[in-house]
Amino acid sequence: MRVLLLTNEFPPNVYGGAGVHIQHLSRELSRLCEVEVFSFGDQSDSRENYHVEGIPLPHPVASTEPSHAGAFNALLRNIQMAAKARVPQVVHCHTWYTHFGGVLVRQTRGIPLVLTTHSLEPSRPWKTEQLGEGGYRLSCWIERTAYREADGVVAVSREMARDVQSLYGVGPSRVRVIHNGVNPDDFPSEPTPGVLERYGIDQNRPYVLFVARITRQKGIRHFLAAAELLDPGVQVVLCAAAPDTAEQEREVEAAVGRLQASRGNVVWVRQAVPGQDLPSIYAGAAVFCCPSIYEPFGITNLEAMSACTPVVATRTGGIPEIIVEGETGYLVPIEPISVTDPEAREPEAFAAALAQAMNRILRDPALGRRMGEASRKRVLEKFSWASIAAQTLDFYKDLASRGVDLV
Question: What is the span of the domain harbouring residue 12?
Answer: 2-181+384-402
Same domain, 312 and 258: yes
**138-183 pLDDT per residue, tens:** 999 999 999 999 999 999 999 999 999 999 999 999 999 999 999 9
Q: Are residues 229 and 304 in the same domain?
A: yes
Average pLDDT of span 232-260: 94
Q: What is the pTM of this model?
A: 0.79
Average pLDDT of the residues in 105-112 = 96
In-domain check, residue 407: no
Question: Residues 264, 329: one domain?
Answer: yes
- Statement to judge: residues 29 and 80 lie in one domain: yes
- pLDDT-based confidence at residue 17 (cuts at 50, 70, 90): confident
Residue 82 contacts residue 104 (beta carbons within 8 Å): yes
Mean pLDDT value across residues 316-332: 96
Residue 315 domain-assigned (yes or no):
yes
Report pLDDT digits (tens) over 331-384.
999 876 544 455 545 578 999 999 999 999 999 999 999 999 999 999 998 898
φ/ψ of 72, rounded to 5, equals: -65, -40
pLDDT tens sequence across 172-195 = 999 999 999 999 999 999 999 999
213 in any annotated domain: yes
Q: pLDDT tier at 125 (50, 70, 90 boundaries)?
A: confident
pLDDT at position 336: 62
Is 81 part of a structural domain of the chain?
yes
- C-alpha to C-alpha distances, 71 to 7, 54, 135, 350, nearest whole angstrom: 14, 18, 6, 34
Check whether 46 has a pLDDT greater than 80. yes
Which pLDDT does position 28 carry in this prediction?
95
Same domain, 206 and 97: no
- The pLDDT, as a whole number, for residue 340 is 44
pLDDT tens-digit series, residues 254-289: 999 999 999 989 999 999 999 899 999 999 999 999
Residues 237 and 206 in one domain: yes
Contact 143, 167 (CB under 8 A): no
d(CA 123, CA 337): 8
Q: Specify whether 323 is located in the same domain as 219.
A: yes
pLDDT value at 328 more than 90 = yes
> pLDDT tens across 55-67, in order?
999 899 888 988 8
Parallel, antiparallel or unpaired: strands 44-47 and 50-55: antiparallel
pLDDT at 75 (0 to 100): 95
Cα distances from 340 to residues 123, 125, 131, 343, 346, in angstroms, run 11, 8, 16, 9, 16
Residue among 297, 306, 219 at smallest CA distance from 18 = 297
Q: What pLDDT was estimated at residue 133?
A: 87
Q: What's the confidence (pLDDT) of residue 400?
A: 94
What is the pLDDT confidence band of residue 123, given thresholds at 50, 70 and 90? confident
307 and 231 share one domain? yes
**In the chain, what percentage of residues exceed pLDDT 70?**
97
Estimate the crossing angle of helix 99-109 against helix 69-84, to 10 degrees: 30
Minimum mean pLDDT range among 123-137, 259-273, 384-398:
123-137
Same domain, 11 and 158: yes
Residue 13 has pLDDT above 50, yes or no: yes
163 and 242 co-located in one domain: no
Counting the structural domains of the chain, the total is 2
In a shared domain, residues 150 and 196: no
**pLDDT(293) > 80:** yes
- The pLDDT score that the predictor gives to residue 384 is 87
CATH number for the domain harbouring residue 246: 3.40.50.2000
Q: Cα separation of 135 and 68, whole Å?
A: 5
The answer as to whether 10 is a domain residue is: yes
Assess whether 239 and 351 both reside in one domain.
Answer: yes
Tell me, yes or no, whether 46 lies in a domain. yes
Nearest to 149 by CA among 180, 181, 105: 105
